[in-house]
Structure 1
């Protein structure tokens, strides 16, 4: 609740500040200029519909929400090339550097060049001349830092130079600001807000054109599928202030083993809708190749990018040196990210009633294994839990009541804990499993099953795990 209130306060502050910027820099009538060069060249973002306000850890966040660059891993450099209408094209190079320490932050630098293609000018005397219709250059410097454990804020300064028909030159300076807040429980949900292109105007001789100032917002949510795959869902949109138009997008990215990515999105524009598609491939943990396409009735747009990571993750006061240390750090980061996405629970050995402790422990292991395979929870390893309990001088190894579940849950620091009991009559076994909320001691899910041998519980555990995970 505190995080949500803080997020709302920051939204209000940003909105007030940026309304003031708009009054200061965008007075008078005029048209927007520099729209093409100021659009994000990010291939990943294009593949999911163009949205990236709440997508962090990507160096192309500098183009949509600078708050996202605080989670950049390692040093990264990326280049992207995209085609446009007729013979025009745009090329971009981005460099980013993430630094983790007491205050985690990131910096990024980007340059983009837009070539509008040739244009033929016909003179009154019958002669003609081919000239470059338009050329734009954009340079950006971004910085972002975590201001709280779950809130990142970032800022950009950008310089834009534009030339029309080789004779009309102009330049402008603009600023961006953004914020990303994530929920503190499992890090799956992120909310993003950014304001872009608030600055001076482009002036071609006597004609003044304002930059396309906009307010952008979005959310992203990670849906874990199993330990090796996940689905990122994105809802995004921005409001173009001078045009009073709202642009929306939906998108998703399916990640397989953090090496292969499939992307799709829908762009909802004021006058039309279009679908986007994309894919990405990670090679040798250091290289990424991304492709994206937006087929439409006006023109089929394609983008391709190549990204390279190098140098290890720099820490305040020290550097990760050597290939083994570097790979080890990456593995730790992936493990940390997974553990923070999944809800952490503990599974205590079931109590045996008229059965041996060994049989009850075997059935517990069956269910624990299936819960791990499903990947909906981050299960505390049994040996680690036993060590924590031993250090706390807790001697009870079995548990079937809510009271002991609450005690064990608080010791091992989980919010939910799975307990149960295994009993036997003349010819059948009966298993009762309860999922207990540690804070309240309330049983939030309960499952009962019957089997005629211990081995049958191996298959039964699969269906129990599925129902508990729902």
Structure 2
């Protein structure tokens, strides 16, 4: 956020230095505030601009509108003059926000005495202003906008003039919308010329700040201030807005250094998606003014829908803020959690793409590798088969592997009368690897937990039988498996896949550990199976453990005719650990109580029979159990140190 504020200040300072002076001018109607909410806050609105009428004050504010919106405004000025306007804004996916507006400034009627002694009543002055605006968010907290306008004026019903002008604005707004900083330059353009007499348009420079110093579910308090430089005079606007029960707003403002100085008041009623605002100004000896605005938003105003609106505009951080503020009691909470996972995955995806753009390090000699059929956990077998094909393609494109085609694998195994299906132990994998004449074998599983998908892979060295590397990636949709495969292969560093062998000292430092399938308590066995595998991979990835493969474990226990079902206490775990020849054995459970999921882990020392480490974590969604595993492993490693 600090960097964004600094960027805003630097750009503002640069623009101010390039505006040498502000001339005295005509066309005073372009100064008029035509928005009732702004009017009631003393026109201190440069940093607040947050409706379709932002076109008139600071066009950069359009970027913070998540949906299409429109507003109609009417202002009663002194004597019988009035202003009326209509604005509409439209977000365009991936491009920004467009805004259009039409304003009428009517000075009322006057009586003219002609040379021939007759008189007639004519319109003193009537001015039309057409606005076409565009705003784009440079980053989630900083936007820029411009407004091109055409001015048409008729004086005394007889003399006409036209001019063209542009406005430019910047707006910084924090993700929680508590702090806003605005800057705008208005009416940079041609002269408004009647016959031979031309008036400069009122070039105006304004800066402002808004601070929402209190916000709760029931109320919010906002203060704002503007410094306005126009007609060689510096003026100050101050405003306050208090919103109660998210329906009623009360406003007050003061305009300092004006002639006359003006006190303003206003009220608003928010009837979502419609809002009605009223503003009133006390003008001293002149007639008091009032303005009315009616606005309509074409979208729901819940945090979820606002988040969806910002997401559609590419403002992911701002969308995340709204999704994360949806209460657990809301019906949209689960949908919001899914959206958060998708956005976070997209960020990881972008980081991976940046990594892919870096120069790849290639091995001197390519490694011959075969990809076995992936195990299906809670997904269709056909899905696992397709993901296996993705992995083969990505390994080939990586440039460090010679990938054995699946058809060739099937042909060789058929000739040797071997079946790849069911071959999941390291011993069996190594045997098949030698038959296939490859150096490494890729095995793993594709699973689903909650509404997220997991891809777990292990690369086994055929000569030593050791697992060289494990990788796990999670995605929110099965449509992302292709990219998930690309990410996993991209993360295979040459140092990971080149087997140089570990020294005995390094091996001695690592703890030999076996992870039992976790006990299920009110959750499906498929879920605990995925969590157990994720736990094994996470332990291996720390580099602190030698993790016994589940399939090797099953093979040993089958040979010993040992039943693991119901083996959840320390005594049974010790007996099991001795059979498996490990130093520690990890047991535990995955359970659900109410709406929360719990993961409880215990590490038992096989020699002493004592519980040496415990860790527990909880989460709100089943799909969060994979991240919970990561936290559990971090705790275990910390205790190990």
Secondary structure class of the residue paired with 1:12:
helix
Task: Measure the CA separation in 1 of the matches of 2:261 and 2:625.
Answer: 57
Please say if residues 57 and 73 of structure 1, whose CA atoms lie closer than 8 Å, have aligned partners that are also in contact.
no
Q: State the distance in 2 between where 1:49 and 1:132 align.
A: 29
Q: What is the correspondence of 1:25-424 to structure 2 with a 5 Å cutoff?
A: 32-99=25-92, 105-183=96-174, 186-240=176-230, 243-283=231-271, 285-297=272-284, 298-310=286-298, 312=299, 329-330=305-306, 336-337=321-322, 383-384=619-620, 390-394=628-632
Question: Match of 1:195, SS?
Answer: strand
Q: Deviations over 1:136-156 (max 9, x none)?
A: 000001111111221100001
In structure 2, distance between residues paired with 1:327 and 1:244: 44
Aligned residues: 333
TM-score (norm 2): 0.48
Q: Does the aligned pair in 2 maintain the 1:253–1:264 contact within 8 Å?
A: yes
Residue 16 of structure 1, CA deviation = 4.4
Tell me which residue corresponds to 1:417. none
Deviation digits for residues 341-399 of structure 1 (CA, Å, limit 9, x no counterpart)? xxxxxxxxxxxxxxxxxxxxxxxxxxxxxxxxxxxxxxxxx8549969733333899xx
Q: Determine helix, strand or coil for the equivalent of 1:70.
A: helix
Is contact 2:306-2:322 (8 Å) kept?
no
Change over 3 Å in CA distance of 1:252–1:85 after alignment to 2: same
- Could you list the per-position Cα deviations for residues 147-206 of structure 1 after superposition, in whole angstroms to 9, with x for gaps in the alignment? 12211000010000111111211100001111012346x542111111000100011111
1:294 shift after superposition: 0.5
Contact 1:132 1:165 in 2 (8 A): yes
Inter-partner Cα distance in structure 2 for 1:162 and 1:287: 33
User: Contact 2:42 / 2:263 at 8 angstroms: preserved in 1?
Assistant: yes
Stretches of structure 1 lacking an aligned partner (at least 5 in a row): 313-322, 341-381, 398-402, 405-470
Q: 1:58 to 1:250 in 2, by over 3 A?
A: same
How many Å separate the matches in 2 of 1:326 and 1:44?
22
8 Å Cα contact 1:222/1:231 also seen in 2 = yes
Superposed CA offset, 1:272-310 (max 9, x none): 322111111122x22111111112221111111111222
CA distance in 2, matches of 1:14, 1:154: 14
Report the equivalent of 1:437: none
Stretches of structure 2 that go unaligned for 5 or more consecutive residues are 310-318, 326-617
In the aligned structure 1, how far is the partner of 2:163 from the partner of 2:17? 23
Between the aligned partners of 1:67 and 1:134, the Cα distance in structure 2 is 31
What is the DSSP-based 3-state SS (H/G/I as helix, E as strand, rest coil) of the residue aligned with 1:293?
strand
Report the structure, 1 or 2, having the larger strand content. Answer: 1
SS class of match (2:86): strand
Shift of 1:116: 1.2
Query: Residue 5 of structure 1: CA displacement?
Result: 2.8
Q: Equivalent residue of 2:53, what SS?
A: helix
Matches of 1:111 and 1:258, distance apart in 2: 30
Deviation at 1:338, TM superposition (A): 9.3
Query: Is the CA contact (8 Å cut-off) linking 1:288 and 1:306 kept in structure 2?
Result: yes
How far 1:219 sits from its partner (Å)?
0.3
Q: Does the 8 A contact of 1:151 with 1:179 survive in 2?
A: yes
Backbone CA RMSD of aligned residues: 3.1
Q: Is the 8 A contact 2:224 2:239 kept in 1?
A: yes
Contact map agreement 1:82 1:303 (CA 8 A) in 2: yes
Secondary structure, aligned partner of 1:59: coil
The TM-score with structure 1 as length reference comes to 0.64
Write the distance in 2 (CA, Å) between the matches of 1:396 and 1:147.
37
Q: Using the alignment, how far apart are the partners of 1:88 and 1:67 within structure 2? A: 30
Distance 1:332 1:172, change over 3 A: closer
1:84/1:212 CA distance change after superposition, 3 Å: same
Q: Residue deviations 1:409-459, cap 9 Å, x none?
A: xxxxxxxxxxxxxxxxxxxxxxxxxxxxxxxxxxxxxxxxxxxxxxxxxxx
Please say if residues 59 and 108 of structure 1, whose CA atoms lie closer than 8 Å, have aligned partners that are also in contact. yes
CA contact (8 A) 2:36 2:277 kept: yes
Contact 1:39–1:63 (CA<8 Å) still a contact in 2? no
Judge conservation of contact 1:37–1:113 (CA < 8 Å) in 2. Answer: no
